[in-house]
Amino acid sequence: MKQGLFLFLALMSFPAYSNELSITSVNQYTCKKSDSGVKNYFYYIERYAPQAVQFDGLFLCHDVSQYGRNDSVLFPRLETRQAVFSFWDSHDDRFFDIDQNGKMDVDDKINELIVNYGGEPLLSSLFFKSQMPGSAENYVIAGNGPSFYGLGWLMKPFVRT
């Protein structure tokens, strides 16, 4: 219980470190197999918008009736939903190991705060990289499933044991 209190206090104090961790929104879009109507869902963040998918007659990610068979990055993806998830931004420099001690700087700072409150430092990171199917183009080219991309960072769930 004491360790959980220190972790809570450390996380609540974290914005005082400089500013809050950056958050990025993840968008979802759909691609359909034209022969079966089966839908596949893919995810992206704005800075990495989806690429056009080469038309193979079976896998469609844009409205063919409105834009024609050949896809373009300018065409909206099918069934796009904005901000279906929010992750901590992987470009926030605190998720890097700038001091080169083998741990992300965000973990260093959290551990520093935990120790300052009298707790024991954590042995592992509180964060893990998300893994989401992120590229319909790779799905079509590879033919065996989507590539998974880390679109941001998530905090590991922790429970009192």
Going 57 to 27 to 151 to 154, the CA torsion angle's sign is negative
Model confidence over 69-94: pLDDT tens digits? 889 989 999 999 999 999 999 899 99
Question: Under DSSP, is residue 22 helix (H, G, I), strand (E, B) or coil?
Answer: coil
pTM metric for this prediction: 0.76
Distance CA 108, CA 129 (A): 17
- Per-residue tokens: 28: 């979802």
Closest CA to 21 of 161, 157, 114, 153: 153
Residue pair 7/114 in contact by the 8 Å Cβ criterion: yes
Model confidence over 15-67: pLDDT tens digits? 444 578 899 999 999 999 888 888 989 999 888 888 888 877 778 899 989 99
Distance CA 46, CA 82 (A): 10
